[in-house]
């Protein structure tokens, strides 16, 4: 168990830090507090913790040594390597809009955001947990009080990170400066849910009196906050979110929270919350939706056939790039994950004039095919989207090993030989081989 915990802890430090730091705090601190608060287990807990940390250090240092070059590239990027954050106010929908995200199952038109950016958790449960704190006789709760109060403290600090503008110098504090308020807002609801579970556990073993008042108060506030978040979600991001459903979901959320608190000692008190969550999360995993044309469609078959022999692809379509990546075909376009291959970018950008754009971690790299003789240009219409405009006959592409391209329209450049065409997502794409 110690070895498994150590590997998991090391893995936490190697994960997406903007999420790993807050989630790690929300799990590790209440767990540690709970163990250390038990007099009979304190010494054993300290021994286990020391052994776990020692093994974690060995695993973590081994990873750092194995991947030192990649980490060095990442650390020198504009984002995320050198960027630091201080706390900043986040919108109400970003914090409390989760109950209304069932609408994403319908794939609505979104404004100024996308599905992953707008995703959030049930932070409303943390509000409900805070409202019932005064109704709990903490001295009668016993050991349950320790993790519950620790979890409340962690969520409170992280919520403050997302609900107030902090001084800029705070971003210079190690680890703290890595935590983006927007990313914390996306996962804070997960910790809000675990906090609610701990606090309602303490509430359930506390005295019977005051349950009705606490349930009504928490339910009413949950209804109001969820209604406000849903209304702002509609006006700011999802115009297609029906007004009637904003009210229905808000009422149901308030009722579910009220029932969970009012019947805290009954197992079925939590059932309405679970039922209410189902429409939001039932098909949230891409595996459930299927991979459509990524592996077995006409596009995948054609790209497989055309990928025989040396050379790599370049495409002006992110959907084609997805097919290429899904089938392990080398491509100059696609997604740049760890950081830039500086030597390759300097072929396209010899004077590094656009380094501030391409020197980033995770980014889409998409080409746009220009007329013959046009110079290479690099733009970033959005921070994570790199658009490289280039003549497909430019010798710079040949230096980088590009021998075949995909276009969204027919091309007539002298260096190109048409090889095939296929449909993807209802539109035709053309493929070409670049003559030596």
Cα–Cα distance between 333 and 348 in angstroms, integer?
A: 13
* Mean pLDDT lowest among 58-67, 201-210, 271-280: 201-210
Q: Which residue has the higher pLDDT, 63 or 216?
A: 216
- Give SS3 for 279: helix
Res 81 pLDDT > 90: no
Burial of 139 (0-12, 13-18, 19+ CB in 10 A): exposed
Q: Which residue has the tokens 């958790």?
A: 121
Cα–Cα distance between 278 and 276 in angstroms, integer?
A: 6
Residue 171 near residue 138 (C-beta atoms within 8 A): no
Six-digit token string for 30: 């209440």
Residue 191 near residue 155 (C-beta atoms within 8 A): yes
Residue 326 near residue 277 (C-beta atoms within 8 A): no
* Mean pLDDT lowest among 170-179, 181-190, 321-330, 341-350: 170-179
pLDDT of residue 39: 79
Res 256 pLDDT > 90: yes
Res 416 pLDDT > 80: yes
Mean pLDDT of the chain: 90
Q: Which residue has the higher pLDDT, 229 or 5?
A: 229
DSSP 380: E
CB atoms within 10 A of CB 328: 8
Res 426 pLDDT > 80: yes
Q: Which residue has the tokens 């902090």?
A: 166
* Mean pLDDT lowest among 230-239, 363-372, 378-387: 378-387
Res 75 pLDDT > 80: no
pLDDT of residue 207: 67
Six-digit token string for 74: 């990442």
- The whole-model pTM stands at 0.82
User: Element (H or E) spanning 412, and its range?
Assistant: none
- Give SS3 for 422: strand
Residue 387 near residue 381 (C-beta atoms within 8 A): yes
């Amino acid at each position: 168990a110690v070895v498994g915990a150590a590997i998991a802890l090391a893995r936490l430090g190697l994960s997406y830090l903007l999420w790993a730091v807050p989630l790690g705090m929300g799990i590790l601190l209440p767990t540690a507090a709970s163990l250390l608060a038990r007099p009979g287990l304190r010494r054993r807990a300290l021994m286990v913790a020391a052994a776990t940390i020692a093994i974690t250090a060995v695993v973590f240092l081994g990873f750092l040594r194995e991947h030192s070059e990649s980490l060095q590239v990442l650390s020198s990027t504009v984002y995320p390597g050198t960027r630091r954050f201080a706390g900043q106010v986040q919108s109400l929908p970003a914090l409390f809009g989760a109950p209304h995200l069932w609408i994403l199952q319908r794939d609505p038109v979104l404004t100024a955001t996308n599905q992953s950016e707008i995703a959030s958790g049930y932070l409303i449960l943390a509000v409900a947990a805070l409202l019932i704190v005064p109704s709990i006789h903490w001295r009668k709760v016993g050991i349950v009080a320790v993790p519950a109060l620790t979890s409340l403290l962690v969520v409170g600090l992280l919520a403050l990170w997302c609900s107030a503008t902090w001084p800029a110098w705070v971003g210079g504090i190690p680890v703290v400066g890595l935590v983006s308020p927007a990313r914390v807002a996306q996962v804070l609801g997960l910790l809000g849910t675990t906090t609610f579970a701990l606090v309602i556990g303490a509430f359930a073993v506390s005295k019977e009196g005051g349950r009705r008042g606490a349930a009504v108060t928490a339910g009413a506030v949950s209804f109001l906050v969820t209604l406000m978040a849903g209304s702002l979600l509609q006006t700011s991001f999802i115009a297609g979110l029906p007004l009637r459903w904003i009210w229905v979901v808000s009422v149901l959320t308030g009722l579910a929270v009220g029932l969970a608190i009012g019947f805290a000692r009954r197992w079925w008190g939590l059932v309405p919350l679970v039922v209410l969550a189902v429409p939001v999360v039932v098909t949230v995993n891409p595996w459930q939706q299927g991979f459509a044309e990524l592996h077995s469609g006409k596009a995948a078959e054609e790209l497989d056939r055309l990928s025989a022999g040396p050379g790599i692809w370049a495409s002006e379509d992110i959907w084609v790039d997805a097919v290429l990546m899904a089938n392990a075909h080398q491509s100059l376009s696609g997604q740049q994950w760890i950081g830039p291959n500086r030597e390759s970018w300097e072929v396209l950008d010899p004077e590094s004039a656009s380094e501030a754009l391409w020197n980033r971690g995770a980014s889409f790299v998409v080409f746009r095919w220009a007329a013959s003789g046009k110079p290479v240009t690099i733009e970033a219409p959005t921070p994570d989207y790199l658009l490289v405009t280039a003549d497909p006959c430019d010798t710079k592409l040949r230096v980088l090993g590009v021998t075949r391209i995909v276009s969204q329209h027919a091309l007539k450049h002298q260096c190109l030989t048409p090889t095939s065409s296929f449909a993807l997502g209802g539109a035709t794409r053309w493929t070409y081989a670049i003559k030596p």
